[in-house]
Structure formats: C-alpha cells, structure tokens
Amino acid sequence: MSDRGFLFLFSLVMVVGGIAAAVWLLVSGQAGTVDGLFLLLTALLIALAFGLYLVFLIRRALSAVPAPAPAKAQAAAARTQQAVG
C-alpha cells in the first residue's frame, strides 16, 4: 500500500474515532463537566484537522486525473487518423 493510501485510511479512522468519542461524551452526559467539555472540544478538533487533511488528499487525487477530451476533439482526431491510416 502506498503512503498516501495509508494516510487516507489513518485519517478516516481518526475522523470516525473523534466523532464517535464526541457522540459518546454527549450521550453519556460527561460533556456537562468542565473536563468533559474540553475533551469534547479536543475530539472535535482532531476530527476537524484530519477531515481537512482528507479533503486535501481527495482534491489532490482528483486534480491528478486528466479531464476527458471533448466529443468534438475526439471526432476530429478519429477523422484525421482515418485519413492518415
């Protein structure tokens, strides 16, 4: 597995884990205390940071994919190839 693939999966696990921890703190009522509030904010901050990194990875991967050629350009290329060959 490439390093980008590993970082993508690790970031995905961290986002899901951060959100799960935040939900658990809210459901169990621990977010009502000062310590729980700071723990909730920390979990959400970690999820946000890794989520932004996921967005960066996805946009970088999509920008590396070449855009398909328009239909007119493909038709013109096919005509010139038929005329040559």
Locate 44 and state its tokens. 């959400």
| Residues 23, 28: Cα–Cα separation, whole Å | 8
Going residue by residue through the chain (85 aa), what tens digit of pLDDT does each one get? 788 889 999 999 999 999 999 999 999 999 999 999 999 999 999 999 999 999 999 999 888 777 666 766 666 667 777 776 5
Distances (CA, A) of 48 to 14, 24, 53, 54, 78: 10, 17, 9, 10, 48
| Residues 25, 18: Cα–Cα separation, whole Å | 11
Helical H runs in the chain? 3-28, 34-64, 71-84
Q: What is the pLDDT of residues 44-66, one digit of tens each?
A: 999 999 999 999 999 998 887 77
What was the pLDDT predicted at 65? 75
What was the pLDDT predicted at 12? 96
User: Domains of the chain: which residue ranges?
Assistant: 3-67
